[in-house]
Amino acid sequence: MSLVTLLPFIVLIGAMFLMTRSAKRKQQAAANMRNEMQPGSGIRTIGGLYATVKEVNEDTVLVDAGPGVELLFAKNAIGAVLTDDEYNRIVHGIEHDLKSDSDVVPDDASSLTETDEPADAAAASDDTPVDLGKKDTAEEPADAPADTEAAEAKTDEKPKTDEEPKKTGGDSETK
């Protein structure tokens, strides 16, 4: 067999090797996470149940899911071991003190439009109008009479009603 015919098979086997290698890494990380569980840790099962670890055995975990509710799970059924802050935020609704770390966002937009300078200072500032190159209709330039004469000349060019209407190229008179 030639190398050209074997090349697709070699590439396929290499891709399969890389995929299984990454899957094994993920499985190993999950196993390490489950082995590091300690009583008092907050967990989430693969079914979505949040609970607190009460006891860890070789293959099982005893969890406290609420007052008087103790459940026994296989270690493989533990989806994630949560940090204390994350567990308290999800289960108890206790937010970590994040508000002190960031700016306070106002409920209304009035503070966003306020300026630091007083209103008198804003009025006293140099607010000259910017010329955008457009002429207002109220302003008439010095050459306005020339424009009015041209407008009057255009009105004189209109056809008068005394004259005969222009004939079009159609056969309107033959009928």
Query: 69-121 pLDDT, tens per residue?
Result: 999 999 999 998 998 888 888 888 877 655 555 566 666 666 666 665 555 55
In the chain, where the domains are located: 10-92
Mean pLDDT for 22-32 is 88
The alpha carbon of 166 is separated from its chain's Cα centroid by a whole number of angstroms, namely 65
Type of residue found at 99: K
pLDDT of residue 88: 86
pLDDT of residue 83: 87
Predicted TM-score (pTM) of this structure:
0.45
Mean pLDDT for 13-23 is 90
The CATH classification number of 10-92 equals 2.30.30
